[in-house]
Amino acid sequence: MREYRIAAIPADGIGPEVIDAGIAVLKALAGQRGDIRLDFDLFDWGTDYYKRHGVMMPADGLDRLRKFDAIYFGAVGAVDVPDHVTLWGLRLKICQGFDQYANVRPTRILPGIASPLGGVRAGDLDWVIVRENSEGEYSGAGGRVHQGLPEEVGMDVAVFTRVGVERIMRYAFRLAQSRPRKFLTVVTKSNAQRHGMVMWDEIAEKVSREFPDVTWDKMLVDAMTVRMVLKPQSLDTIVATNLHADVLSDLAGALAGSIGVAPTANIDPERRFPSMFEPIHGSAFDIAGKGIANPVASFWTAAEMLGHLGEREAGDQLMRAVERVCEAGIMTPDVGGNATTREVTEAVCNAIAGRNILD
């Protein structure tokens, strides 16, 4: 029996609903297989915790997470606390504190889910977006002076380091190399941003020489949005800065049917720290508590987590169950269905157990 300890941080909005659902299917999967054991410790960090304690997580939070094999995260964001407080106080504190510098975002059209792009079918959109996750526009460098006065200045400085860009570029080339098409698109805005982004292009060129079997091309981020919509088949693996990839991956999720199905892995490739797995979507407080949040992103996220833990076969088994349920039309309203979070979750548990999915 292989045992894994998972720290679960459901946090805000629909986070608790989709993480509950994810834990239920993971337990069903472990029970059905009998060869893995998953132990979950729940952490109540997030906006409610912030309202009680003035911080999103305790000062020793990272130390408490360090001993886990992985972190299973929900979402941050609330109506009544500024987004930069919730984001920097929890999600970014963990990503940056554990140097999870590779944010990996697979997107494909699952069976039974329709893309808003006419005529685009499952195999036509199968991408992995690699988001630099430690620096760039999210460096945190900047500040405000003369607040409230006419001469007020606000600055956010995008910081690109050679170490940071080289390591994400190498990660992306290696990932592209592992996929059948061996094709990478490097996204920048190096016409307008003539320092850091030009360095990205130079580093891409240099790192590409280590991967002679990988074909690659370059795109400006604005043109990339057009290519994603008009020629989705022309893309495979994509690497971009922290901010650019954040925006592009929301678009990718929508083009694949809904941001409610898209997963994210915040990876420390050197495995010095636990990596963190979360649905791409945020807290969606407009639908929180209604029981209609799409749990598929958190299931796919769980499959990615299993893969990272060395349990790829179990992750694939979970995804096969998810795909069967989607194909049968048991889906939440965001992807055109009328099922609840609980109904989708039960159907996936049934599929894992080999029962009729409608039991």
Residues serving a catalytic function are 138, 189, 222, 246, 250
Q: Which stretch binds ligand GGG (CB under 6 A): 187-195, 201-209, 272-280, 308-316?
A: 272-280
Residue 260 touches ligand GGG, criterion: CB under 6 A: no
Q: At what angle do helices 196-208 and 162-178 cross, to 10 degrees?
A: 40
Residue 85 touches ligand GGG, criterion: CB under 6 A: no
**Closer by beta carbon to ligand GGG, 266 or else 350:** 266
Is residue 263 within 8 A of residue 340, CB to CB? The reply is: no
Closest approach of ligand GGG to the CB of residue 278, in Å: 4
Q: Is 112 helix (H, G, I), strand (E, B) or coil?
A: coil
Closest approach of ligand GGG to the CB of residue 74, in Å: 7
Choose among 269, 265, 271: nearest CA to 66: 271
Residue 76 touches ligand GGG, criterion: CB under 6 A: yes
The DSSP result for 262-291, as a single string, is: -EEEEE-TT-SS-EEEEESS---TTTTTTT
Give the tokens for residue 53. 């304690």
Residue 87 touches ligand GGG, criterion: CB under 6 A: yes
**Closer by beta carbon to ligand GGG, 83 or else 202:** 83
Candidate list 279, 307, 315, 337; residue touching ligand GGG; CB under 6 A: 279
Closest approach of ligand GGG to the CB of residue 297, in Å: 8
**Longest distance between any two alpha carbons in the chain, whole Å:** 67
The DSSP result for 180-241, as a single string, is: TT-EEEEEE-TTT--SHHHHHHHHHHHHHTT-TT-EEEEEEHHHHHHHHHH-GGG--EEEE-
- The β-bridge partners of 141 are 157
Closest approach of ligand GGG to the CB of residue 91, in Å: 6
Residue 267 touches ligand GGG, criterion: CB under 6 A: no
Closest approach of ligand GGG to the CB of residue 354, in Å: 31
Task: Count Cα atoms within 13 angstroms, Cβ side, for 240.
Answer: 24
**Closer by beta carbon to ligand GGG, 91 or else 167:** 91
The DSSP result for 23-82, as a single string, is: HHHHHHHHHHH-SEEEEEEE---SHHHHHHHSSSS-TTHHHHHHTSSEEEEEE--BTTB-
Residue 130 touches ligand GGG, criterion: CB under 6 A: no
Candidate list 16, 282, 307, 315; residue touching ligand GGG; CB under 6 A: 282
**Closer by beta carbon to ligand GGG, 241 or else 350:** 241
Residue 77 touches ligand GGG, criterion: CB under 6 A: yes
Binding site for ligand GGG (CB under 6 A): 75-77, 87, 91, 246, 278-280, 282
